[in-house]
Structure 1
């Protein structure tokens, strides 16, 4: 494999999504083999207990690289978690010339750099059945992955309530609140960008609400807001309202909460998201319900019963397996101006 191909493959991986734009990837080349590690300094926070969010991001990164490599004429032999003694060693990939390299190109590769999160609303619809079928087919390309579409009014109501409760909990819990606001780079201002974390400009907060949102990063202020009953209202604004006003919602389901399945879920998520991008859809992920329902997050004792209720409700919605990530979908009225950046490529590890 030549140096340019290696650089192109890594560029595709770095463009993948990660929780709060944490970019928890480390790379190391050994000839034509690539080791993919979880970055110890950018993982392991409260919601990332047992590396759930990092495994999800690693899966998306891995699939991006596999897709780009296929477009360049290379196939990948992937071994996940090859070293049981190192819990942050997520994958080893051996690249080789693709014996089917003369087949039609990989269409998803063209969407890798265009894929992004869009937190604006409302969006237009409806989403045609053939588009839903294409997204579901992409999830199924990864073993064990599938999409559940809450179509009926009862299913939609249940999903909305579940997501709202999970998002409300992020504001009720001091631990989750501190984690949430630690990722927002307020120093970037409301019109600037940043290469890591979330720039305020990407959050789609309405101008009149920005001073209050900025105040919420202070624990004392947020404690007062909680006392005033603001947490349910924040869950309503951040989750229920934008989803209620959007034409599409689906849930990515994986077979179990095992790390290998979560990583595979990240691969399926990336395929679905890239296909949605090709189909002109705007996408916003909601991972809180799935991650909290796994039961790994060391939340305050006062909220543990709520985690159990979330898990039960999610199990009812997905019927079997483990619900992992909800995706809000629709057709945006205009192109998105503000997108999250990426760190310089040299900060991700050992390059060729």
Structure 2
């Protein structure tokens, strides 16, 4: 394969989502093979327990590369040993077909983004698109997609995510991580990573307030005095959810495979993009549950662990696919039609991801 072809595959890969857009990936080109590994210098966030979020990001990278390879008339073979052995890079080999394939989301790879703005609630997702989304998720084994359509389901879903986010906004480590990755002004243009203020989907009047709240001691004081964490969760997730036409979850049956989770998440997202839908993952609650299951809730207080366990029970009550044993919550989303074009997260140049 030509080097330019490999670079095109890498370009597709790095457009995958990652925890707080930190893009913790490294690539090495070895002839017709491409190796993907994690960059430990860009990991370690509270939202990444046992590398869960980073592994899911790698899974999304693999999905993007697979879709781009299909559009180039290539098939991808992923070395199963390199996937199961986390100490070695994921090794991909590409084989040329006689002609390009049409069953791909390559166009969507380059247009997919997170849209944190408000959606048009009156414009519902039609049945044909709902079926396409369901088919995309079920194209991978042991995954299911749930739409929360009934009023009581929507209220319960919204309450679960809202309460999880109040924990998020009252947690010192998460607060500090957030400000480490938040990019004000032209900092995002310089770093090409992290959360640019324009991508947060909030009104411009809140940006100076965010700057002011950087010191944890001040935020903690306001949490205690006026319930700031409740206000942040109301604007951050409650308002976007109640104005969204659809709230959905992806659940997996069987042992956790976070690389595969990332592929399922990204395939859903690409199909939603193909349908003209805006998408925002609601990641706090799923990643909090991952923290409970992978590191026994390390970093949470006993009270917070008990609260999350109750929220998990409430989630099972409205999600039949999550009932029983050996069930994993992959991700929650809100989807709909945006009121205005979102600002896309930036990406570093391909060359910065290459290693020898």
The verdict on how the C-alpha distance between 1:322 and 1:181 changes in structure 2, with shifts beyond 3 A counting, is same
Please show how residues 302-317 of structure 1 align to structure 2 within 5 Å.
302-317=303-318
- Please say if residues 6 and 29 of structure 2, whose CA atoms lie closer than 8 Å, have aligned partners that are also in contact: no
Provide the residue aligned with 1:324 in structure 2.
330
After alignment, is 31-40 or 205-214 more displaced?
205-214
- Please say if residues 292 and 310 of structure 1, whose CA atoms lie closer than 8 Å, have aligned partners that are also in contact: no
1:135 aligns with 2:133: yes
Give, in angstroms, the shift of residue 225 of structure 1. 1.6
Distance 1:91 1:143 in 2: 21
Q: Which whole-Å deviations, capped at 9, do the CAs of 1:17-53 have from their partners, x for residues lacking one?
A: 1121011111112221222111111123222111110
Distance 1:238 1:80 in 2: 39
The verdict on how the C-alpha distance between 1:257 and 1:286 changes in structure 2, with shifts beyond 3 A counting, is farther
Provide the residue aligned with 2:11 in structure 1.
11
Please show how residues 1-352 of structure 1 align to structure 2 within 5 Å.
1-80=1-80, 82=82, 87=86, 89=88, 91-98=90-97, 101-102=98-99, 104-124=101-121, 125-188=123-186, 194-228=191-225, 229-256=227-254, 258=256, 261-294=257-290, 295=292, 296=295, 297-301=297-301, 302-319=303-320, 320=322, 321-336=327-342, 338-350=343-355
The verdict on how the C-alpha distance between 1:123 and 1:19 changes in structure 2, with shifts beyond 3 A counting, is farther
Structure 1 length normalisation: TM-score? 0.91
Distance 1:286 1:214 in 2: 23
Distance 1:56 1:81 in 2: 17
The verdict on how the C-alpha distance between 1:69 and 1:236 changes in structure 2, with shifts beyond 3 A counting, is same
- Please say if residues 194 and 340 of structure 1, whose CA atoms lie closer than 8 Å, have aligned partners that are also in contact: no
Distance 1:176 1:28 in 2: 32
Distance 1:63 1:2 in 2: 21
Aligned residues: 344
Q: Which whole-Å deviations, capped at 9, do the CAs of 1:214-257 have from their partners, x for residues lacking one?
A: 22221121112211211122112111111101101111112246
Q: Which whole-Å deviations, capped at 9, do the CAs of 1:295-314 have from their partners, x for residues lacking one?
A: 13522324222232233233
Give, in angstroms, the shift of residue 7 of structure 1. 1.1
Runs of 4+ in 1 over 6 A off after TM superposition: none
The verdict on how the C-alpha distance between 1:282 and 1:57 changes in structure 2, with shifts beyond 3 A counting, is same
SS in 2 for 1:236: helix
SS in 1 for 2:82: coil
Distance 1:81 1:290 in 2: 27
Distance 1:306 1:177 in 2: 19
Q: Which whole-Å deviations, capped at 9, do the CAs of 1:152-176 have from their partners, x for residues lacking one?
A: 1221111111111111111111122
Give, in angstroms, the shift of residue 96 of structure 1. 1.2
Give, in angstroms, the shift of residue 193 of structure 1. 7.6
Superposition RMSD in Å: 2.1
The verdict on how the C-alpha distance between 1:271 and 1:193 changes in structure 2, with shifts beyond 3 A counting, is farther
Distance 1:49 1:164 in 2: 21
SS in 2 for 1:47: coil
Please list every run of 5 or more consecutive structure 2 residues that lacks an aligned counterpart in the other structure: none
After alignment, is 177-186 or 5-14 more displaced?
177-186
The verdict on how the C-alpha distance between 1:59 and 1:103 changes in structure 2, with shifts beyond 3 A counting, is same
- Please say if residues 287 and 326 of structure 1, whose CA atoms lie closer than 8 Å, have aligned partners that are also in contact: yes
